[in-house]
Amino acid sequence: MPAAHPATPAPLETPDTLATLETPALLLDAARMAANIARLRARLQALGVAARPHVKTAKCLPVVQAMLGAATGPITVSTLREADEFAAHGFDDFCYAVGLAPNKHDHVARLLARGLRLTVILDSVEAAQALAAAAAGFARPLGVLIEVDCDDHRAGIAPGDSAQLLAVAAALAHPMLRLDGVLTHFGASYDQPGVAALRASAERERAGAVAAAGVLRAAGHAAPVVSVGSTPTALFADALPGVTEVRAGVYVFQDLVMAGLGVCAPEDIALSVLSSVIGHQRAKGWTLIDAGWMALSRDRGAAGQLADPGYGLVCDAAGRVLDGWIVAAVNQEHGIVRHRSGDPARCLDLPVGTLLRILPNHACATAAQHAAYQVLDAAGRVTARWPRFNGW
């Protein structure tokens, strides 16, 4: 089992300035994060639906505690490593929201043996049969949700495919397996910019999941859980009748993909990468920084949006967006900053050593490149270092 995640780090006794950090460094604006959390919490309270936050982006105890507003779960995980890490801190209610591969059955058994409440997902008779064959070795019942595909985007059974839904349900007939209901993720919402489109996506997600649960209930299955979730649909749903819980994760930080969809503004993005100017190619209009794809990731999720941000939007050290400047290209440890226009006569001619902050395309991918968050207060001072973990 992986080493236990450290306890909540104490604040730094003396807040540091950004100039004390070695770059590149992952910055977390605590005030922006708190505002993002409060926004989703208020929305779900208004809709009367429970939250099961997704911790795959954060992978950090203090961040997840802030998301919950309490010390422990329920939470959604994308790796069983996340369940191990958070169980070490008293979390005991997990939904593993990735289709379960048979080589993880033993890991599932170990988590159940620790007395945890665990739910897994699957979307085929084959996977259900494999799980039923392993279930005799479980110390306590395992919850199972059937994954439903409401948007033809990724995994899952179509909500109207009653035969397949019921076949999977039948294959789960084992005293150590508990069919809890259905789960869906409307990933197509990431391709639907604008308020009207996001609201429509939220309704399609809700209606599909509720319909699939109805198929199971009509056949005699209790199916008490109807789990939906993505940051865009969670924030733009008008109503969620029939839904019991919402899973979302990137909302805690936001990113340029979310900004491009209209989910947030760039000023709401709590995560950035601090970098230093290390040189220039003035004839090309390039400014070189020490944050390449190892610091920013290669994710180009916002590339198809109206204003392509390259590998990230460039901000000054205070986090103010420098209009028109993007990280246009990356090597392993180098980033190339140029004007969006590509005009070589426009060079961000800053002295070597100048600090810049880069807003990420995809918060999950960028955070995964780093071992810790450097936490900033409202004055832009580094007040804490919060470790994060990666891996499976």
| Residues 159 and 217 occupy one common structural domain | yes
| Residues 133 and 232 occupy one common structural domain | yes
Tell me whether residue 142 is in a domain: yes
Domains in the chain: how many in total? 2
Return the closest-CA partner of residue 380 out of 9, 10, 17. Answer: 17
| Residues 124 and 155 occupy one common structural domain | yes
Q: Which helix H or strand E contains 120, and what residues bound it?
A: strand 117-122
Tell me whether residue 31 is in a domain: no
| Residues 241 and 273 occupy one common structural domain | no
Tell me whether residue 134 is in a domain: yes
Check: CB of residue 316 under 8 Å from CB of residue 322: yes
Residue 307 has a pLDDT of 80
Cα 99 to Cα 122: distance, rounded to the nearest angstrom: 5
Last residue of a domain, one of 214, 248, 282: 248
Cα 13 to Cα 142: distance, rounded to the nearest angstrom: 45
Residue 306 has a pLDDT of 65
| Residues 96 and 192 occupy one common structural domain | yes
Here the CATH number for the domain that contains residue 331 is 2.40.37.20
pTM, two decimals, is 0.93
| Residues 114 and 235 occupy one common structural domain | yes
Residue 347 has a pLDDT of 92
Report which residue type is found at 31: A
| Residues 332 and 234 occupy one common structural domain | no
Tell me whether residue 378 is in a domain: yes
**Structural domain harbouring 364:** 266-387
| Residues 242 and 273 occupy one common structural domain | no
Last residue of a domain, one of 217, 248, 279: 248
Check: CB of residue 247 under 8 Å from CB of residue 53: yes
Check: CB of residue 352 under 8 Å from CB of residue 277: yes
Cα 388 to Cα 55: distance, rounded to the nearest angstrom: 11
Tell me whether residue 87 is in a domain: no
| Residues 304 and 351 occupy one common structural domain | yes
Cα 33 to Cα 254: distance, rounded to the nearest angstrom: 9
Tell me whether residue 162 is in a domain: yes
Residue 5 has a pLDDT of 42
Tell me whether residue 256 is in a domain: no
Tell me whether residue 105 is in a domain: yes
| Residues 366 and 321 occupy one common structural domain | yes
Here the CATH number for the domain that contains residue 214 is 3.20.20.10
User: Prior bond to 6 cis, omega within 30?
Assistant: no
Return the bridge partners of 384, or none: 375
Quick count: other Cβ atoms within 10 Å of Cβ 185? 27
Tens of pLDDT, residue by residue, the chain (392 residues):
334 444 455 555 666 889 999 999 999 999 999 999 999 999 999 999 999 999 999 999 999 999 998 767 799 999 999 999 999 999 999 999 999 999 999 999 999 999 999 999 999 999 999 999 999 999 999 999 999 998 877 899 999 999 999 999 999 999 999 999 999 998 777 888 889 999 999 999 999 999 999 999 999 999 999 999 899 999 999 999 999 999 999 999 999 999 999 999 999 999 999 999 999 999 999 999 999 999 999 998 877 776 889 999 999 999 999 999 999 999 999 999 999 999 999 999 999 999 999 999 999 999 999 999 999 999 999 999 999 999 99
Cα 95 to Cα 78: distance, rounded to the nearest angstrom: 8
| Residues 240 and 320 occupy one common structural domain | no
Check: CB of residue 66 under 8 Å from CB of residue 34: yes
| Residues 104 and 243 occupy one common structural domain | yes
